[in-house]
Chain A
Amino acid sequence: MAALCEGFTLCGLGPSGGVGLGAGVLALEPGPDSDHVLLTDRGRTATLFKVSDQKPLGCWSVKHGQIITCPVVCNFETHEYIAVHDDKVLRIWKDEDVNLDKVFKATLSADVYRIHSLPHGEPLVLFRGGGVRTLDVLLEAPQQEIENFISDEVIKWSEAFLEGQEPILIFATEKDGDYFIYVQKFKLNILHKYKLEQQELSNPLSFTAYIKNQIITLLCLYSNGSVYKVLIPLQRHSEEEEQILSKSLLLKLLVSGSVLKGTSFAVLDKDHVAVLGSLTAFGEESKECLTIWNTKFQTLQTSKELPLGTSGQLWCYGEKFFFTHGKVLTVIIYKCETSSLAAAVGKLKDSQTSDVSSFINWNALSDEELVDSLQSQQSVALKSESKMTLRSRRNSVAKVQPDTLTVGQLLLDIKDSSSAAIEDELKQLLSKPQMPDFQATIGCVITALINRCKTDPVFYPRNFLVQLIQKRELSYSLCPDLMAVALEKKDVHLLQICLQWFPDIPEEITYACLKVFLSISDDYLERTDVNLESVICYIDIESNNKEVKTEIVENGFNAELEEDSCDIIFTKETHVKNDGEFCPVGPQKAALLNAVLHSAYSETFLLPHLKDLPAQQAVLFLRYLHYLYVKSSEKITTALPGVLSPTINQIMDWMCLLLDAHFTVMVMLPEAKGLLSSLHKFVRAQVRFYSELNKIEGSLQELQRLKRQKDSQTYSIEVLELI
């Protein structure tokens, strides 16, 4: 349940004191620290507050006659503050600067609408005409010409995100009652324009947006007291000039029969939104209140009356709401917990309830049944949805929506359409909002795809499959044939991510993957796209060229051991080549083998398969394991650096398994001899080292005991300090 805590006052806004001199607040932006906020008023001043202490840390104002037109933001990278006054004059200053007249100044050629500062990126400057520049580009030539895209449309709202490393800016404009959404992808310099579906007798008051899985979710608060949801995929497939964005009703702000007229709102998490607005009950005076709503259950979770009135603005940073209440700026801390039906009826148990659904075996149902059942489900879903949005859709019923493609249709398409067409449809499917049975849908879509792959050797929607697996909604049992097809096609990248994400791969398949990985040549792998994350930190790709031979033995254990060990027979070989020194496989193959090492298995089931591994491959694999073992022993933590790199236990387990499976072969094989002896020596050195550690531990323990004996006198006077 969500809850609002008792609020406190951050500062007064009245003319008598505090900030703003009664003109109101222009905007509130996050400050350089998580506990800081930057308040810009509708006059000349910007103030930095430390919220928990309720005190201002700094205050800057422009000269009389000037006016700040764009909220002050903080550049998180450089800890500088950026402001625009009189529409065109840009100022940049630091904490220690006092007088804004003396700080850096640049006069621009066009009016600035807003500056957006991103946590790990250059601030973006949005101009009134729709042009966008990063700050550093702009500062190179402040007088550069700024294009005007939107002629006489007025920007109502804007927001910036980072998707991956790419900054994305979205803004909404209005012209003659029509609303347009622009999405600017900055790296590619693409600007997409969309038109927002119209709503009778109501217009959007406030917007907010977030980005998830390459989809922008835009929420709009309408004047009729409803919140609508609009999804904008980042990958736009059709090149229409102006696409119309359809919206779906997310929430109706109804409080016991009367409508909450929202003025401003914020998204708290995936299920909660906060709305600031006024509530007019029948026959009563309207009262303003702050409310938190659950969108999943369509319920009002908590509300707080604000009898002194607000300016209609609401900001939300770091679990705190900020709004003006009467003549003060008030802060309220909220708590928002994931809500579930169980919690609502008080039956919540603290156990993980996720991941349950990812193991449905859809093989049990035949294809036709699936199509039927899904179509019926879909229609039910549609019906219920249409009931909810009937009024909003009424005007657009005549038009056939291009994206009301049913899953059943898609399944039929997969059987015979061209791969390009299918991929297009699949993308649409993925960009759709979360369906009620998303997993089931994906399950049968993927089964259909795999069936097509089996019959049609040319068809292989690789990118889509990779994307799907990375969504982490799949498991082996959901699509058992996927890995078989990938094995057949030797699609090592797909296999790698399958091994990484699937929790339930049978040992037989793990073995098959291992065999394929070992058999593919390094030259071939160099041309393929493999995720090298797990090896990049410890395999030096450059020096891995086999021609380069170093005489020095890097490993601390081996160097000593060679002098120390008494067996002379193998010294020749160790001089020629030390197995632990070079990675015996290329980085791509190493990364693939790491994926195998990481997968879950049961020894009993794996061992019989492992016995079938050809001798040469077994030796190669053992060589690689030996290399990993030596590498990981270099550090005292016996761990390899990097993400997803195999742990020492995994390495040892596989080594034991491999030796168990191929014991006789290893004994007989001449080329394994050197490897085994060097492995043996290394292990022996480690055992000796640890036995030395044991001895040290023994002596230290003895010391401890001596210390205790010293304690055992019957009387002493000691000094004790308590702090």
Chain B
Amino acid sequence: WYAIALQTSLLSFVCRVFLVRWSRYNPYYLEPEVSKEAYSRPETELSAEEKEQRELKALRPIKAATSGVSSSVFDDPVISKFINMMMEHGNKVLAREIMTQTLENIKKKQVEKYHKASEGEREAIECNPYTIFHQALENCKPVVGLASIQKGGKYYQVPIPLTDNRRRFLAMKWMITECRDNKHRRTHMYEKLSQELLAAFGKEGNVMKKKYELHKMAEANRAYAHYRWW
């Protein structure tokens, strides 16, 4: 009668967890608006289009917000994207830890520099790790990229304009791969990242070198720019 008891318990199991968050939605669904500022604006401030948008949102179904976004003041889409790119095998906890440790490390180094500097130099030292991160990423973004275009049987590296997303992705990718591959193996990732980010903030370092090399290649191949058709 052990088997019978097992069978009845299996039959009485009802799935209490219903899937509501998936990554592929019907195009009918709208994107969620996470920031609080968008909702605190009064009716009078909105233009006609925004009023229409609001009415549409009241009628259409909306996708579930991912667990990576939040409506807090500390939520930064760029940092979330960087954390996702650092993440391996879905270990978001570890990636977030590394990111927070990196920011802490940057802050420590900058505060140390601040206290050691003389009065005149203190204003020039930036202590906010978020501004350092954003500025470093901005400095690493390439302006033009190269595309492999086939013409007359041969492939040429043609300089092309890049979209903002592509540029941001390249900067982040270079940063992460450089920290993973070209540093001493016994240093922690947050240490490597903080070193590289501070170097990029000061416009030095291997990632900046990579960006300049890309620019130089594009400049060398500028004769092939007409092979583009868009």
Do A and B come together as binding partners?
Answer: no
